[in-house]
Homo-oligomer: A and B are copies of this chain.
Amino acid sequence: MFELIDANIAKHITLSPQELDHFHSFLHVKKYKKKQFILQAGETSHFQGFITKGCIKNYILDEKGHEFIMYFALEDWWVGDIMSFYERKPGNLFIETIEDTELLTIDHQSNEQLLHDIPQFERFFRILIQRSAYTLQQRFFNTLSKPAEARYLEFVKKYPQVVQRVPQQLIASYIGVTPEFLSKVRAKLAKKSSKTEAGS
């Protein structure tokens, strides 16, 4: 039950068996069916989640109702609206399942208690946020500096499991183009690679 999350935490901090047990005592299991909301914009996020099974998308909606996907998350990822969770006010993120999904969650009060009882978690979550901020920065840079084709190829290389599991239109949203345009990019790539392979 806790193998995955324990291994995840062990990547950055080292806890005693007692501390681990204490940590586990704060966690709850939450289950969602496909296409359910875990969080909606306007709500205050009452928990952070760790995915033990399934797949979700985290996105913002603009005025016209277009989805802008901030990230996908599969097993072994943490999900949540960090600002809403820590500042205890309504956020602007949607979190929605793409498949049936199971989370381990920790609510706000438990989290405060955890940070107090095991200060190492303060460090753990700092590292988590730091890395996600870095990833976002790189992605922002890529989006401004590289054409859609390069961004798509990098996405496929970096997240092959996601490509298998989520519809193409969501990947279009992630890399920052319309579904129609991604389709055209892929058509061009297919033509290119068929040319290359035609060297018989």
Contact = CB atoms under 8 A, between A and B. Distances in A.
B134 A136 contact: no
Given A68-B145, A119-B119, A145-B62, A133 B126 contact: no
A144 interface: yes
Contacts of A125: 126
Report the contact-size class of chain A (Cβ under 8 Å from the partner).
20 to 34
A82 B134 contact: yes
Interface in A42-81: 60, 62, 66, 68, 70
Contacts of A83: 130-131, 134
A123 B123 CA distance: 8
A141 interface: yes
Given A82-B134, A129-B133, A133-B136, A144 B145 contact: no
Interface in A132-170: 132-134, 136-137, 139-141, 143-146
A6 interface: no
A141 B67 CA distance: 10
Interface in A26-49: none
Interface of A: 60, 62, 66, 68, 70, 82-83, 86, 115, 119, 122-123, 125-127, 129-134, 136-137, 139-141, 143-146, 176
- State the 7 A-B residue pairs at the shortest beta-carbon distance, nearest first: A133-B133, A126-B126, A62-B145, A122-B122, A83-B134, A140-B140, A144-B176
